[in-house]
Structure 1
Amino acid sequence: MTYNRYLSLFILLLFLPGLAAAQVLPSLGEARSGTYGFQYLKIGPDARSASMGSSSVADAADASALYWNPAMSAQLDNSQVLFGHTQYFADIAMNYASYVHRYRDIALGLSFQMLDSGEMDETTELQPGGTGRTFRTTHFAVGLSFAQELTSLFSYGVTLKYLDESVEEVTSRTGVIDAGFFYRVGDTGLRFAVGLNNFGFDADPSGETKRRPGPNETGAETDEDGFIVYDEFTDVSPPTTFILGSAFDLIQRDDFNITLTGQLTNPADTQERFSLGAEMDYLRRFFVRTGYEFGVDESYLPSFGAGFNFPLYNYGIRADYGFSTREYLGSMHRISLRIDL
């Protein structure tokens, strides 16, 4: 009876936030779409979370916690390093690295996230095959984190991040804060978390970019080479995101475990989405995962992945793979490597 009660509570924690969001939080996704910058911050960097439908705010059980919820870093048993690589759409790659140092009830963290588009051909309405020019976009974030385990059941964490985003010769820079809380319901296997990510100041872009006059710009002022020079831009806002999530250990045995996760994500610039995930492990060595994101227009298949732990000298190593796909854009592959120090 007790087990069923906690399972029911987990389900309630999953679905009540969605109902609350429908009644309280404005659904302005379509109206706000495309109005915020620093979109790379919304790309999950690690294979485990991606394979579980990006539902890990209450169960980021490794150094990826610095991305999902810094409070979770204070729940780690030891210091960790994590490296993640995402093969994104259109041959775009994103890399992530994080380090969590545990000292008594405190966790200190350093994280780095970078997305690089590579060289891309410039196209225009009149020259869809290319203008002969190329451009590149680079995006990175550096974060410093602090988390504390106040009791064995509760922790909080904060991350200060510096953001830099460059498109051609135009650069936007600003600072944001991530804040999170984590609570464990005794020894029931139930836990939940709240996070507020990428809350900060608007960026004032600087630099300039050049374009050939379009069909409606024949009278526009140009430079000596016939280009229109743009050097005034509107401010760019970071994609502030509010997250609620829970996790539940459905089965806990010495040789076999199943964990369920759920998450409500409410971004400032798109519609809300709801994620579910599951992880099955055997002997804490082999892992199989799956998940699904509701509210993502192009999401039509579940994500999935696998991982395995193995010792190497005095270190514990875990390698993970995650796969997810979008209907029109294609597939994403992620790999992660975690090292327990």
Structure 2
Amino acid sequence: MKRIYLATLVLGLVALATQAEAGTDRRIGTAGAQELRIPVGTRGIALAGATVASNHGLESVFYNPAGLASTEGVEAYFGNTSYIADINVRYLALSSKMDWGSLAFTAKVLDLGDLIVTTEDAPEGTGQVETLTFAVIGLTASRYLTDAISFGATGYFINESILDVHAKGVAFDMGLHYDLPWRNARFGLVMKNLGPDMAFDGANLEHSVQIPGSSPNSRPRVLRTQSAAFDLPTYFELGGEMSAWTSGDNQVMGYGTYQSNNFSKDEFRGGVEYNYQDLLSLRGGYAYADQNDYLFGPSFGAGLNLPLGGGTVSVDYAFQSVDSFFDDMHTISARFKF
């Protein structure tokens, strides 16, 4: 029965993936809600996002919800990324082991800074300053189907707010892990950001207009601009990990991921992680896409695990080089396990 269930899950994910158009230049820039694609999880960022097959507990949720199944006890994660264009990304996540599996709550909030309000009548500014709010709230459930197979799913609530104009939507991730009995190898696949189209609506899309040809004494009409709907940035990932070298307390893990994008060129990701006694980790990664304006270069990072009472605290840092006009990205985080 479990084999039938597994086959159904795999075929379902593959069927969803085949519905997505292969990555091309023609659809670049046509999807919205791009905050769904902004990576979180310091370890994954340092490994260039090549961790679709990694079961690193709570930090795996963004890359593949199936990785949450390995969580033991309670975990809490706090992270901050200095993203491109002076954007700060704050990420909070909490998870707990349940009788039936694992459950996690996540919140990604983008600090886009202050916006000086301008209008047609005041192009230099009205003196009003507004704060932009983009947030993604998630709930993840994951469990082992067999000793070697885990499945996870995440539901997201998306909120974008700009000057009394709002777009709200939902998205879903579904992922699978399969452990192989060789060199700590694991295979993973995930379908991300499935969901209905979104559109903006709100008071600032309404305008008071005097209809041409109407009586001068007639009241202005309130007209609403209809915002065009936009798709979510759906993509499919397939990848694996394995132990490349082990000697005593030293281990080197290798990671690889293929990402098939629906609204941009496909990407290839690879990473290497050195671990000493599960105490110190050094990481590096690289992502590639066949496009001239691809922003991201090599990434690097390190992590330190320390005992804390009856649990542990992990402090991690990641550096992501960025080409062209933007500053490099820096991420720092703390993860607590109880």
Amino acid at match of 1:204: A
The answer (yes or no) to whether the contact 1:74–1:106 under 8 Å persists in 2 is yes
Residue 136 and residue 176 in structure 1: after superposition, are their counterparts in 2 closer, same or farther (change >3 A)? same
| 1:69 matched to 2:64 | yes
Deviation at 1:25, TM superposition (A): 7.2
| 1:330 matched to 2:311 | no
| 1:293 matched to 2:290 | no
Q: Which residue of 1 aligns with 2:234?
A: 240
Residue 103 and residue 187 in structure 1: after superposition, are their counterparts in 2 closer, same or farther (change >3 A)? farther
Q: Indicate the percent of aligned positions where both proteins have the same amino acid.
A: 28
TM-score normalised per structure 1: 0.81
Q: State the Cα deviation string for residues 210-249 of structure 1 (Å, max 9, x = none).
A: 799xxxxxx9xxxxxxxx9863201122211111111111
| Aligned residue runs from structure 1 range 144-159, under 5 A | 144-159=139-154
Deviation at 1:204, TM superposition (A): 3.0
- Please give the alpha-carbon distance, in whole angstroms, between the structure 1 residues aligned to 2:336 and 2:36: 24
Residue 60 and residue 303 in structure 1: after superposition, are their counterparts in 2 closer, same or farther (change >3 A)? farther
Structure 1 unaligned blocks of 5 or more: 1-16, 213-218, 220-227
| Aligned residue runs from structure 1 range 66-145, under 5 A | 66-104=61-99, 106-121=101-116, 134-145=129-140
| Aligned residue runs from structure 1 range 148-227, under 5 A | 148-209=143-204
- Please give the alpha-carbon distance, in whole angstroms, between the structure 1 residues aligned to 2:172 and 2:34: 16
Amino acid at match of 2:252: I
The answer (yes or no) to whether the contact 1:205–1:236 under 8 Å persists in 2 is no
Provide the aligned length of Structure 1 versus Structure 2: 307
TM-score normalised per structure 2: 0.82
Amino acid at match of 2:335: R
Q: State the Cα deviation string for residues 260-287 of structure 1 (Å, max 9, x = none).
A: 1011112222111110001101111111
Residue 230 and residue 319 in structure 1: after superposition, are their counterparts in 2 closer, same or farther (change >3 A)? farther
- Please give the alpha-carbon distance, in whole angstroms, between the structure 1 residues aligned to 2:300 and 2:265: 23
| 1:274 matched to 2:271 | no
- Please give the alpha-carbon distance, in whole angstroms, between the structure 2 residues aligned to 1:252 and 1:89: 37
SS of 2:113's equivalent in the other structure is coil
- Please give the alpha-carbon distance, in whole angstroms, between the structure 2 residues aligned to 1:60 and 1:322: 19
Q: Which residue of 1 aligns with 2:316?
A: 320
Amino acid at match of 2:328: S
Match of residue 249, structure 2, among 249, 255, 278: 255
Residue 148 and residue 62 in structure 1: after superposition, are their counterparts in 2 closer, same or farther (change >3 A)? closer
- Please give the alpha-carbon distance, in whole angstroms, between the structure 1 residues aligned to 2:108 and 2:305: 24
The answer (yes or no) to whether the contact 2:23–2:261 under 8 Å persists in 1 is no
Amino acid at match of 2:35: Y
Structure 2 unaligned blocks of 5 or more: 1-13, 213-221
Q: Which residue of 2 aligns with 1:216?
A: none
Question: RMSD over aligned Cα, in angstroms?
Answer: 2.9
Deviation at 1:75, TM superposition (A): 2.0
